[in-house]
Chains A and B, each alone.
Chain A
Amino acid sequence: MVSPSEFAQQLVNALSLGSIYALLALGLSMVYGVLGMLNFAFGELVTITAYTMLFLANHGAPFPVMAIGGVFAAVIASILMELVAFRPLRGASFVTLLFTSFAVAELLQNVFRQAISSRPKGVPVPSLFDNAVRVGSVRIGVLPLITAGVGATALVLLTLFMRRSRSGIAMRAASQDFATARLVGVRANRVISLAFAISGLLAGIAGVLWISRTTAVQPTTGFVPILEAFIASVIGGLGNLRGAVAGGFFLGALEVFLQATLPGKILPFAQAVALLIVVAILYVRPQGLFGRRVEAKV
């Protein structure tokens, strides 16, 4: 029923979507790993990236400047978010921090609504993104190719950073045992700021890729990214970085697969089916596909 070329095409779709989800899940997991908190204002970093791109575009900036500016803004916003909202609550309960992050998300959305607009605003992207290349019988869009390429490069560089650099080792240690990491000399504030910075970097990169696809931004733009990031990182095991990447690709593939194969009558329930599959996975492996047991944090 599904032809080989259609299958190949859907595979590219899954990889492209999956790489964005992987970046998002990794960004969310990064902070969870170090601090044991779920930052639901993470999606708003994507929105901030998008509005920054829009602002730069309105001032005549070319796309590369828009992209870099957008990523930069997300990094700064992420660090500030921690300093202003979460640092004063260091050591507070999981639920307190969770609700604080909801409040931050809600606040930012209201700021966007009041200060900018509650309507979608278009973000111009290069027309190059709309081109496609033909590989055999498969037509691959330039944007999905760039998305997969940027996603893969970012993941490799981040892996190298986490493996090779002293800061990376310190972050991994902190995410395994925060208290002992401090006893060894890892500076708590610095490693937490770094985690938020990397989280912002990932949100920014994913945001640029996401906006390149949607060409529009509105106050609720961050909703889908945070939802997908959350599901993907739960699949992979919260706080597990490798798991987050795997969870992201898995979720991308699952969504494309369900859309491609479910009969029309069930399609409206695709999201529900996807969540059911996730619940089934968690039933069998409560710690996620790659997760370890939950440890006490900070």
Chain B
Amino acid sequence: MRRSWRIGALLLAVFALVAGACSANTGSSSASSSESSSGGTFLIGFPGDFSSTYAFYDEPIKEGAQFAIDQINASGGVLGNTLELQALDNRNDVAETSKLTQQLLDQGAKWLIGTTGDGILAEGSQACAANIPVSTGDGTAPTLVGDMGPCAYQLIMSDNVQGATLAEYAIKQGYKTAYVLGSTEIPYTKNLPTYFTKAFENAGGTVTGTDQFKIGAGDYSAVVTKIASADPAPDAIFTPMFVPDTQVFLRQLRQAGVTIPVLSTDGNLDPSLPDAGAKALNGFTFTASACPPGPDNPKIQQFYADYKAKYGKDPSSVIAVLGYDEIYALKSIIEAQNSTDPQAILAGLPNVSYDGVSGQIQMDPTTRRAKKSAWMVKMDGASFTCLGQPGYPTFVPSA
């Protein structure tokens, strides 16, 4: 999902002053080394955010990963090794993430799952300094692997793929012109409009208007009025807006009598979206890393059924399948390399090819990003319906 964003404004500085007085305990843990032969334990580290802003993403990743590990261990482990997940809460604090990452490396972790929180770059650079492979977790920004370091790999759909998928979809629907609404405040909302525009124009579409929105503004009436007055009216609107802003925007847009279809991205797969009401949401289409369970995506539905059978409840969100797939992809690498050594895993990562619950993970060795297709979700009234996985786009703009 999206990368760190903050309501960066003057007040927060003062809040920080007030709240900042409390923190900073530095106890160094001195757990040391491990042995990597068969019959041992293979430690997977996850310094994730399980209590703050990004717990919504990291928590299900943890649930899915644990589910996969439990399954694998129950059937004998990998090459005779038992998998173990150490998930520690970084509270979305960069310093804490850094500390926990080091702690996990000291304990002998051989694989790290990236946090969605602010500390991901710290986690990546520390992992790479120790030459331990690290994933981007639920991070979709295509620039992440470059920023984290040479040992970082993205096993999920990237943002440029989302943009290209939506552009192809738009062309297929017969939309020739589009109005693009972005925000330069964070990389996610700044880059996605570019990816979409490049792919849309490459496929023959024209962007007839662009505008900027403010994240968390609570009011988009002025933006909406400009769209309503756009002459000629565009065939479609693209925006990487996410909840809870999407609800505001869509309602104000439909109130203004604008019926132009709206295309958006994975920040909208959220249980709070439907409260915007059927009238505003109907037809709203967006990409996602995975669809909610339903009869048209039997693999995910089966995942939910199995999960519930084991734990007696649903995972906290469908994002759990990404954590699940990541562990199984790791297992396939270990088996292909016939080694649990991190260096062997790093050597095998560029060639990983694994068909997971959320789709085919086909690594591109040059970009270190999996060529993974996006899913598409369309709102039918106020309920999510899955349009499936349209396939990897023929043109994907560079990161």
Interfacial residues, chain A to chain B (CB-CB below 8 A): 2-3, 5-6, 9-10, 13, 16-17, 40, 99, 102-103, 105-106, 113, 118-125, 127, 129-132, 139, 141-144, 210, 213-218, 220, 223-227, 255-256, 259-260, 264, 267-268, 270-271
Interface contact B222-A130, CB-CB below 8 Å:
no
Q: Can you report 10 A-B residue pairs in the complex whose CB atoms are below 8 A from each other? A: A6-B226, A106-B19, A127-B277, A130-B254, A132-B256, A217-B244, A224-B217, A268-B183, A268-B184, A268-B212
Known: A40-B11, A106-B18. A143 touches B255 (CB 8 A): yes
Could you say which residues of chain B place their CB within 8 Å of the CB of A17? 219, 221
- Is B308 close to A, CB under 8 A? no
- Is B391 close to A, CB under 8 A? no
Known: A264-B212, A267-B212. A122 touches B275 (CB 8 A): yes
Interface string of B218-238 (1 = CB under 8 A from A): 110111011011000000000
Interface contact A3-B229, CB-CB below 8 Å:
yes
Could you say which residues of chain B place their CB within 8 Å of the CB of A144? 221, 255
- Is B373 close to A, CB under 8 A? no
Interface contact B55-A118, CB-CB below 8 Å:
yes
Interfacial residues, chain B to chain A (CB-CB below 8 A): 7, 9, 11, 14-15, 18-19, 52-53, 55-56, 183-185, 210-212, 214, 216-219, 221-223, 225-226, 228-229, 243-244, 247-248, 251-252, 254-257, 270-280
- Nearest A residue to B225 by beta-carbon distance? A9
Interface contact B218-A214, CB-CB below 8 Å:
yes
Interface contact B279-A127, CB-CB below 8 Å:
yes
Most buried by A among B222, B226, B280: B222
Q: With both chains docked as a complex, state the minimum distance between the C-beta of B88 and any C-beta of chain A, in angstroms.
A: 18
A103 to B20 alpha-carbon distance, docked (Å): 11
Select one of B14, B222, B226 contacting A102, CB under 8 A: B14
- Nearest B residue to A131 by beta-carbon distance? B255
A223 to B300 alpha-carbon distance, docked (Å): 38
Could you say which residues of chain A place their CB within 8 Å of the CB of B228? 6, 9, 139
Select one of A122, A215, A223, A226 contacting B271, CB under 8 A: A122
Interface contact B9-A227, CB-CB below 8 Å:
yes
Interface contact B217-A119, CB-CB below 8 Å:
no
Known: A40-B11, A131-B255, A215-B275. A13 touches B225 (CB 8 A): yes
Known: A16-B221, A223-B7. A264 touches B211 (CB 8 A): yes
A13 to B227 alpha-carbon distance, docked (Å): 14
Known: A119-B272, A213-B248. A130 touches B212 (CB 8 A): no
Could you say which residues of chain B place their CB within 8 Å of the CB of A143? 251, 255
- Nearest B residue to A225 by beta-carbon distance? B218
Q: Apart from A124-B277, A139-B257, list 6 A-B contacts with CB within 8 A.
A: A127-B277, A130-B251, A142-B255, A215-B247, A215-B275, A225-B218
Could you say which residues of chain A place their CB within 8 Å of the CB of B217? 224
Q: With both chains docked as a complex, state the minimum distance between the C-beta of A213 and any C-beta of chain B, in angstroms.
A: 6
Interface contact B225-A260, CB-CB below 8 Å:
yes
Most buried by B among A124, A215, A256: A215
Q: With both chains docked as a complex, state the minimum distance between the C-beta of B217 and any C-beta of chain A, in angstroms.
A: 7
A17 to B226 alpha-carbon distance, docked (Å): 16
Q: With both chains docked as a complex, state the minimum distance between the C-beta of A233 and any C-beta of chain B, in angstroms.
A: 15
A255 to B213 alpha-carbon distance, docked (Å): 12
A214 to B18 alpha-carbon distance, docked (Å): 29
Known: A120-B243, A216-B244, A216-B275. A141 touches B216 (CB 8 A): no
Select one of B15, B19, B185, B248 contacting A214, CB under 8 A: B248
List the 3 closest pairs (A to B, CB-CB), nearest first.
A122-B275, A216-B244, A259-B222
Interface contact A260-B248, CB-CB below 8 Å:
no
Could you say which residues of chain A place their CB within 8 Å of the CB of B184? 268
Q: With both chains docked as a complex, state the minimum distance between the C-beta of B14 and any C-beta of chain A, in angstroms.
A: 6
Most buried by A among B218, B221, B223, B278: B221
Interface contact A256-B222, CB-CB below 8 Å:
yes
Select one of B11, B256, B271, B274 contacting A139, CB under 8 A: B256
Select one of B222, B257, B275, B279 contacting A123, CB under 8 A: B275
- Nearest B residue to A270 by beta-carbon distance? B214
Interface contact A102-B216, CB-CB below 8 Å:
no
- Nearest A residue to B247 by beta-carbon distance? A215
Interface contact B18-A102, CB-CB below 8 Å:
yes
Q: With both chains docked as a complex, state the minimum distance between the C-beta of B53 and any C-beta of chain A, in angstroms.
A: 6
A214 to B14 alpha-carbon distance, docked (Å): 26
Select one of B7, B183, B248, B257 contacting A215, CB under 8 A: B248
Most buried by B among A9, A40, A127: A9
Could you say which residues of chain A place their CB within 8 Å of the CB of B229? 2-3, 5-6, 9
